[in-house]
A and B are shown apart, each in its own frame.
Chain A
Amino acid sequence: MKKEMKAWIYLLPAILFLGIFMVYPLVDVLIYSFEEGYNFASQSFEGYGLFNYSYVLHDPYFLQALKNTFIIVIITVPVSTTLALFISLGLSKIKVLRNFFQTVYFLPYVTNTLAVGLVFMILFKKTAYSDGLVNMLIHLFGGPTVDFIDGPYAAKMFVMCFYTVCIVMPFKILILTSALASVNPMYYKAAKVDGTPSWRIFTKITLPMIAPMIFYLVITGFIGAFKAYSDEVALFGTDLNSAGMNTIVGYVYDMLYGDSGGYPSYAAAAALILFAIVFTITLINLMISKSGK
């Protein structure tokens, strides 16, 4: 009995913190999302219903955020995964400078994304004083200059996706390089003896061997991209709605806090819609990866 007590004492802090800041909020957020006409100041509400969901789904800002998020997901996940695969394959083929390249490629992972985002903003921005470096390069090749930060939607979306890909690459390269390194070299030797052409080695040996890791990256990539938010703030500032570049997570936070905030019920409904989307997509991904085997 005394032993039991001791175990619970050791567990107490963890249970306490998880209970207050994870389990309780989980239940609470569900309740919030059904409470209609919730007033933050008086903490009172009018009744239960689906109004919050319907409000959110009809809010043009939410629909814009939904569209932006889907575009980011559909573009960045395939592009970054493919690019990371090529770079990791390249890395696995060299010996000299390999460690050096690996270190350089991983560096952005540890740096503050808001800080690096600010640099990207300056590189792409067009001001009265200067067209910025990227526009200078475009000009050099004879293209028309464009303001990527305050300009047309397509240009903003391009920077957004470009930056997101850059930010997620370090993690993907790291995972794929270690997956490639763990493939048993015997297979390659056997293939070499048989004189198998290198593209066949890639599709018949390498790709099947690292397929689980690629699926892992696709799944975490989807989840991460659906939750995109701080990268957008880094590039376009905190007022994402007026920039037309908000994401679902951004919408949740805007509903909760700031000039447009004070509506935890709408925020909760939007967060649960996001959770439902991510959950469904993850399930579909898992089903595809199962049937592929």
Chain B
Amino acid sequence: MKNKIKTFFLYFGLFLWGLLVLFPFYWMILTSVKSYSSYNAEYVPRFIATNPTLQNFVDAFTTVSLGRYFLNTLIFTVVTTGLMMVVVVMAAYAFARLEFRWKNILFALFLSLMMIPNELVVITNFVTITNLDLRNTYLGLILPSVTSVFYIYLLKENFEQIPEELYKAAKVDGTSDLKYLLKVMIPISAPTIVTITILKVIECWNSYVWPRLITDDEAYFLVSNGIQEIRENGFGRENIPAMMAAVVVISVPLVVLFLIFRKKIMEGVSTGGTKG
């Protein structure tokens, strides 16, 4: 009997936290389907929408350039992630399989760069990009974030677990390094590569600070800057339902990605995520 009460309270507590976590999402969706007039008429906010409408979503795409922000973010995410994968895979391969002088020293130097906080280097990068006349361009947005020492490290560890005999056999057969990398190493390491890709996509989709520094032309805004822009000048401060519709649209892609790759994302974050 005592155990049953205990279990009840345990589930009750867990349920309560779950409710707290999900509530903002519920409120976001709920507000996005309330009409402007009914939202503003509710002095005491209601927990259900009596006359749900999709008008806010139409407004979100027509009044502000949400579509444009979306497209920018998509381009930024795809190109950054793609470029980074090439850079990271090549470097990891060199560290894992190729022989060269100063390899260990160089690798130690790479690892020590992991301790450098972004806040410290962003100042110079801002000046560099400004001087190169790359503000308000995709290139300026993308370039500083196409390498990650941590992912090089992660992938190198993974590559090293592939038996070296395979490499030697391939060498005897006269397979080139590039071909070996593409046909053997990458397919075998696919799970890790997918995890890294997803984590990078999430990072890109949510990045705010760098894009804000480097773009002041609305045509190059990413969704995070878009949200801020919408909040400060977009629909007029009071059209909160339309604002929430925009927020829903921005959040949906990542939530879908999360639900599909739930396990991979959680595993990936517990081995290498840092946030919090």
Q: Which residues of A contact B (CB under 8 A)?
A: 3-4, 6-8, 10-11, 13-14, 17-18, 20-26, 28-29, 32, 80, 87, 90-91, 93-94, 97, 101-116, 118-120, 122-123, 127, 129-133, 136, 166-172, 174-175, 178, 217, 220-221, 223-224, 227, 229-230, 233, 237-238, 249, 252-253, 256-257, 264, 267-268, 271-272, 274-275, 278
Cβ-neighbour of B100 out of A4, A115, A127, A166 (below 8 A): A4
Docked CA distance A128–B266 (Å): 42
Cβ-neighbour of B123 out of A90, A108, A221, A252 (below 8 A): A252
Docked CA distance A17–B146 (Å): 8
Q: A112-B254, A118-B247, A171-B275 are in contact. Are A103 and B227 (CB under 8 A)?
A: no
Which residue of A is nearest B86, CB measured?
A: A13
Docked CA distance A169–B14 (Å): 13
A48: min CB distance to chain B, Å: 17
- By a CB distance below 8 angstroms, the chain A residues around B265 are 106, 110
- By a CB distance below 8 angstroms, the chain B residues around A166 are 20-21
| In contact, B270 and A178 (Cβ under 8 angstroms) | yes
| In contact, B123 and A103 (Cβ under 8 angstroms) | no
| In contact, A119 and B244 (Cβ under 8 angstroms) | yes
Q: In chain B, residues 230-276, which have Cβ atoms closer than 8 Å to a Cβ of chain A?
A: 231-232, 238, 240, 243-244, 247, 250-251, 254-255, 257-258, 262, 265-266, 269-270, 273-276
| In contact, B27 and A119 (Cβ under 8 angstroms) | yes
| In contact, A275 and B258 (Cβ under 8 angstroms) | no
Stretch from B60-68, B111-119, B161-169 that touches the partner: B111-119
9 chain-A/chain-B pairs, Cβ below 8 angstroms: A3-B100, A17-B143, A21-B125, A97-B11, A110-B202, A115-B250, A118-B243, A172-B276, A274-B119
Of A25, A101, A120, the most chain B CB neighbours within 10 A belong to A25
Stretch from B38-46, B51-59, B188-196 that touches the partner: B38-46
Cβ-neighbour of A7 out of B94, B147, B238, B247 (below 8 A): B94
- Is the C-beta of B99 less than 8 angstroms from some C-beta in chain A? yes
| In contact, A275 and B128 (Cβ under 8 angstroms) | no
- By a CB distance below 8 angstroms, the chain B residues around A17 are 87, 143, 146-147
B14: min CB distance to chain A, Å: 5
Interface of B is mostly: helix
Q: How many pairs of A and B residues are in contact by the CB < 8 Å rule? A: 250
Interface residues on B, range: 35 or more
Which residue of B is nearest A32, CB measured?
A: B123
- Is the C-beta of B90 less than 8 angstroms from some C-beta in chain A? yes
Cβ-neighbour of A233 out of B24, B208, B244 (below 8 A): B208
Docked CA distance A229–B29 (Å): 26
Q: A168-B275, A229-B209, A253-B213 are in contact. Are A133 and B45 (CB under 8 A)?
A: yes
Besides A119-B244, A257-B126, A271-B120, 12 more A-B contacts (Cβ < 8 Å) are A3-B99, A21-B121, A101-B14, A107-B25, A114-B208, A116-B251, A123-B27, A168-B276, A221-B276, A230-B208, A256-B126, A256-B213
- By a CB distance below 8 angstroms, the chain A residues around B40 are 129-130
- By a CB distance below 8 angstroms, the chain A residues around B146 are 17
| In contact, B100 and A29 (Cβ under 8 angstroms) | no
Docked CA distance A168–B273 (Å): 12
Q: A104-B22, A106-B266, A268-B123 are in contact. Are A119 and B147 (CB under 8 A)?
A: no
- By a CB distance below 8 angstroms, the chain B residues around A169 are 21, 276
- By a CB distance below 8 angstroms, the chain B residues around A256 are 122-123, 126, 213
- By a CB distance below 8 angstroms, the chain B residues around A103 are 262
- Is the C-beta of B137 less than 8 angstroms from some C-beta in chain A? no
Cβ-neighbour of B27 out of A28, A133, A170 (below 8 A): A133
Of B100, B149, B238, the most chain A CB neighbours within 10 A belong to B100
Cβ-neighbour of A105 out of B18, B28, B124, B128 (below 8 A): B18
A56: min CB distance to chain B, Å: 13
B138: min CB distance to chain A, Å: 16
| In contact, A80 and B276 (Cβ under 8 angstroms) | yes
Cβ-neighbour of A252 out of B86, B119, B152 (below 8 A): B119
Cβ-neighbour of A101 out of B18, B20, B27, B177 (below 8 A): B18
| In contact, B99 and A109 (Cβ under 8 angstroms) | no
- Is the C-beta of B221 less than 8 angstroms from some C-beta in chain A? no
Q: A24-B124, A87-B17, A101-B18 are in contact. Are A11 and B10 (CB under 8 A)?
A: no
| In contact, B94 and A108 (Cβ under 8 angstroms) | no
A167: min CB distance to chain B, Å: 7
| In contact, A107 and B117 (Cβ under 8 angstroms) | no
- Is the C-beta of B224 less than 8 angstroms from some C-beta in chain A? yes
Docked CA distance A167–B146 (Å): 26
- By a CB distance below 8 angstroms, the chain B residues around A115 are 28, 227, 247, 250-251
